[in-house]
Amino acid sequence: MLRVEKVSFSYGGARKILESVNLEVGGGRLVGLLGPNGSGKTTLLRIISKVLEPSGGVVFLNGKKVSELSVRELARELAVVPQETAASFEFTALDVVLMGRTPHLRRFELEKEEDLRIAEECMRLTDCWHLADRPITTLSGGERQRVFIARALAQEPKYLLLDEPTANLDLRYQIEIMEIIKRLAVEKKLVVIMASHELNLVASYCDELVLLNNGRIIAAGAVREVLTRENIRRAFGVDVLVETHPLTGAVYLLPVNGQQHTALHS
């Protein structure tokens, strides 16, 4: 279980990036973290993963304070799929996934068969095992994203954080990645938190949503409770219709006259 307690953050100035954020997520749940640009989504993920230290508040993993875990201990519990997966080196996809085994290996220890087996399993789960011997530089965005998800899984974490995993992907890859993430949460009983701008995508896959605005949580809970016309207007300043998908029953949003509004005002 992941618990975020009264977490605040600022870069020293008066402006608070996050203000007294509380969050509690249990195993097997896929949680979407929503909010406009600059609302603090990425900052929250970076605090949970100990890249940033909060100026106030505590993050607990399974009752243990994150700040008291070593980086290595944390890496065995929690994995992160970064927003941008830079790749200007010629490692193969398998090499990259094997790097996910780092927190489980001693300094001079070489990867063993067990590590290869885990890497293979993770790459099969994310459907990229067939890319194993391709240099990471030659992969497309969607393929690379899957490799990096596999790397995160190879850490055998109980918590998985993803920062806009579907950004820059076309529709097919977006759905593919979401299917994978959803399956992982259920099958591996992971706590998954993903920051995203794709409201409709998130609405049809996530179990719970958290909506951030100006560093505060303005709504949290079931999809239908969070994605309301009022909440969206408050957070994004956009008027939407909240509809139900005729086939899947999921919530989806339709912007109302968004184009005309901006056209009139500019």
Partner 1 sequence: MVINVSASELKRSDAAEPYLIRLYKTKDFFTYGGKSVQVAETGAHVFEGGVRHTYLLERVRHWRFILLVFSLVLFLSVFLATAVGSTYVGPSAILNAFRLGIYDLLSKLGVELGAHAGETAETQKLIILDIRLPRVILGALVGAALAVSGAALQGLFKNPMADPYVIGISSGALFGVTLAHCLPLLSLLAAACAKQVFAFLGSLLAVFLVYNIARTGSRIPVDMLLLAGIATSFLFHAVSSLILYLTLQGDWHQIISWVLGGLWLASWGQVEAAFLPVVICTISLLFFARDLNAMLLGEESALHVGIEVEKVKKIILVLASVAAASAVAVSGTIGFVGLMVPHAVRLVVGPDHRILLPASALAGASFLIWADALARVSSLEIPVGLITAISGVPFFIYLLLRRKRAIAYA
Where along the sequence are the contacts to partner 1 (CB under 8 A)? 49-51, 71-76, 79-80, 82, 85-92, 94-96, 99-100, 102-103, 105, 107-108, 110-113, 115-116, 120, 129-130, 132-133, 151-152, 155
Residue 117's nearest CA partner among 98, 143, 95, 103 is: 98
Residue 80's nearest CA partner among 151, 1, 173 is: 151
- Name which of 115 and 208 has its Cβ closer to partner 1: 115
- Name which of 27 and 82 has its Cβ closer to partner 1: 82
Smallest separation (angstroms) from partner 1 to the CB of 169: 19
Full DSSP string of 73-127: HHHHHEEEE-S-----S--BHHHHHHHTTGGGS-TTPPP-HHHHHHHHHHHHHTT
Contact between 250 and 240 (Cβ < 8 Å) = no
Longest CA–CA separation in the chain, Å: 64
| Sole residue written with tokens 């949580």 | 217
- Name which of 134 and 188 has its Cβ closer to partner 1: 134
Smallest separation (angstroms) from partner 1 to the CB of 69: 10
Smallest separation (angstroms) from partner 1 to the CB of 115: 8
- Name which of 80 and 190 has its Cβ closer to partner 1: 80
Smallest separation (angstroms) from partner 1 to the CB of 154: 9
Q: Using CA of residue 90, residue 96, residue 98, residue 103, what is the dihedral sign? A: positive
Smallest separation (angstroms) from partner 1 to the CB of 137: 10
